[in-house]
């Protein structure tokens, strides 16, 4: 069953849990995500990045996700990192149940104005909206490479006024994670997260889940993060296993590889999904 994100995140916030949001790019990753949720029996956010529109169009994604999740579990179909209001409109019309408007590279006022526009169109359709304030640095092998290389921590006062002015469902904050794999040891600003949480009641989102040490993820969940995004690690794991499989059998049939890739995707996602859920502190 496809749902908007609001209810799931509010419930997660009450229980001090986080819901996993996993990036998909093709049939294999969508199948893998749905397989993982079938095993864990936990709610899942299936996240399709606007940067992958060359791989699949929005209607294809909606069709496949609907088809594979019909009558099963609790799923949100989310458009990740989109800066184009027309693409957002299209995703809402196509059947996405949640969208992210990423105005993090813009001046505060412009980010607010565009986010409000997105909220007006999305909320009329019962669709959730995530926005971002502050921007993440790029780690190694990031799929979000085109988003720029800034690390601007989120300002807590601004986060409070942004949430109030826009009424977004969820707010992505920058507290030290990076998109991609870390070049060194990550230092997550849990102190900043606590400050933001004390001023903002809107569910908070952590981007850049890949490679973040489990202890730090746990601290983030316990201090108010309710959605965590994972992308790079899915791709890195599946590609490494693909190389191994081809070394073992250079004549591996493409159809077999496709099934294996869905299974490998499911393994990575299942581990993260269960871990996020198990951190409940209340």
Count of residues interacting with ligand 13P (CB under 6 A) = 15
Residue 216 found at the interface with ligand 13P (CB under 6 A): no
Task: Based on the residue annotation, tell me whether 80 is a catalytic residue of this protein.
Answer: yes
Residue 227 found at the interface with ligand 13P (CB under 6 A): no
Interaction with ligand 13P in 3-32: which residues (CB under 6 A)?
23
Q: Based on CB atoms, which residue is closest to ligand 13P, 237 or 242?
A: 237
Residue 80 found at the interface with ligand 13P (CB under 6 A): yes
Which one among 231, 265, 273, 279 touches ligand 13P, defined by CB under 6 A? Answer: 231
Q: Based on CB atoms, which residue is closest to ligand 13P, 140 or 246?
A: 140
Q: Measured from the CB of residue 234, what is the shortest distance to ligand 13P in angstroms?
A: 8
- The DSSP string of the chain is -B--SHHHHHHHHHTT--EEEEEE-SHHHHHHHHHHHHHH---EEEEEEGGGTTT--HHHHHHHHHHHHTTSS-EEEEEEEE--HHHHHHHHHHT-SEEEE--TTS-HHHHHHHHHHHHHHHHHTT-EEEEEESBPEE-BT-TTGGG----BPPPHHHHHHHHHHH--SEEEE-SS-EESB-SS-----HHHHHHHHHH--S-EEE---TT--HHHHHHHHHTTEEEEEE-HHHHHHHHHHHHHHHHH-TT--HHHHHHHHHHHHHHHHHHHHHHHHHT---
Single out the segment in contact with ligand 13P by CB under 6 A; choices: 31-39, 53-61, 147-155, 206-214.
Answer: 206-214
Interaction with ligand 13P in 161-180: which residues (CB under 6 A)?
179-180
Give contact residues for ligand 13P (rule: CB under 6 A).
Answer: 23, 80-81, 143, 179-180, 207-210, 229-233
List active site positions: 80
């Amino acid at each position: 069953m496809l749902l908007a994100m609001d209810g799931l995140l509010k419930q997660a916030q009450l229980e001090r849990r986080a819901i996993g949001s996993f990036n998909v790019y093709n049939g294999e990753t969508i199948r893998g995500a749905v397989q993982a949720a079938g095993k864990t029996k936990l709610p899942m956010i299936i996240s399709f990045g606007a940067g992958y529109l060359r791989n699949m169009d929005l209607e294809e994604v909606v069709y496949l996700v609907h088809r594979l999740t019909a009558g099963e579990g609790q799923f949100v179909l989310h458009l990740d990192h989109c800066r184009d209001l027309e693409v957002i409109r299209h995703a809402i019309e196509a059947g996405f149940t949640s969208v992210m408007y990423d105005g993090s590279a813009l001046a505060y006022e412009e980010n607010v104005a565009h986010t409000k526009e997105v909220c007006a169109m999305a909320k009329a359709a019962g669709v959730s909206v995530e926005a971002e304030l502050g921007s993440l640095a790029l780690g190694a092998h990031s799929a979000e490479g085109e988003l720029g290389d800034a690390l601007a921590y989120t300002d807590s006062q601004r986060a409070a006024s942004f949430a109030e002015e826009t009424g977004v469902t969820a707010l992505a904050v920058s507290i030290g994670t990076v998109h991609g794999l870390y070049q060194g040891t990550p230092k997550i600003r849990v102190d900043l997260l606590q400050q933001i949480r004390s001023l903002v009641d809107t569910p908070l989102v952590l981007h850049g889940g890949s490679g973040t040490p489990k202890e730090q993820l746990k601290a983030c969940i316990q201090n108010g993060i309710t959605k965590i995004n994972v992308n790079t690690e899915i791709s890195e794991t599946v590609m490494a296993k693909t190389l191994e499989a081809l070394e073992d059998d250079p004549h591996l049939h493409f159809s077999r590889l496709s099934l294996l890739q869905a299974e490998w995707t499911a393994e990575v996602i299942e581990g993260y999904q269960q871990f996020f859920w198990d951190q409940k502190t209340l």
